Amino acid sequence: MELMRLKKRLTIARRGHKLLKDKRDELLRRFFALIERAKGLRSQVEEELRRAMTGFVIARALMDEQTTATALALPKVTGEVRTATRQVMNLKVPSLEVTLEGNALAYGLATTPPELDLAVEGFRRVLPRLLDLAELENSIEMLAREIQLTRQRVNALEYILIPNLEETIRYIGLKLGERERGTLTRLMKVKEMLEAQRE
């Protein structure tokens, strides 16, 4: 009875091991795909930020401190970030969406250089992409944690549970075999004794 239960448990453990290995492989595939996307997006965002910052530095050099402070003092653009979750391989990953309202160029255009306009517009354009990058990198971190957890489960099944079950099944099989041989030997002796009594 115990042997049958252990064999059934071993079958389930092997099936679970295969499923977890498949899950780990798919998580790794998606993980590396997200890393490639993040690399590309990061380089684009860094380039856009570099251009916007360069324009801002040039504009600051062309304007006096008072004009810069006045032009950038009041927030002209308001933003709202909405969060949601989406599922990736049974893993809830946050999703961010930004909505910007207002005119980023609501200061006096006659008193500011065009480099400031380009810089402000560049910062406004890069913000949604920056949030996309943050969402992507957060997804990568969550996938990495899930991969590690799945890898630990696969290893526990592969190197601990399955070998222990196989060893226990082998041990019980040996003991049952010994018991069966002992019973068979006793039956043969009883048969010999009965035949000897008949003669």
3-state class (DSSP) for residue 99 = strand
Checking if the pLDDT of 99 tops 90, the result is no
Tokens in use for 84? 């949601």
Task: List domains and CATH numbers for the chain.
Answer: 2-159 (1.10.287.3240)
Q: Do the strands 91-102 and 77-88 form a parallel or antiparallel pair, or are they unpaired?
A: antiparallel
Checking if the pLDDT of 16 tops 80, the result is yes
Checking if the pLDDT of 96 tops 80, the result is yes
Tokens in use for 181? 């041989």
DSSP secondary structure letter of residue 161:
I
* Model pLDDT for residues 140-168, shown as the tens digit of each residue: 999 999 999 999 999 999 999 999 999 99
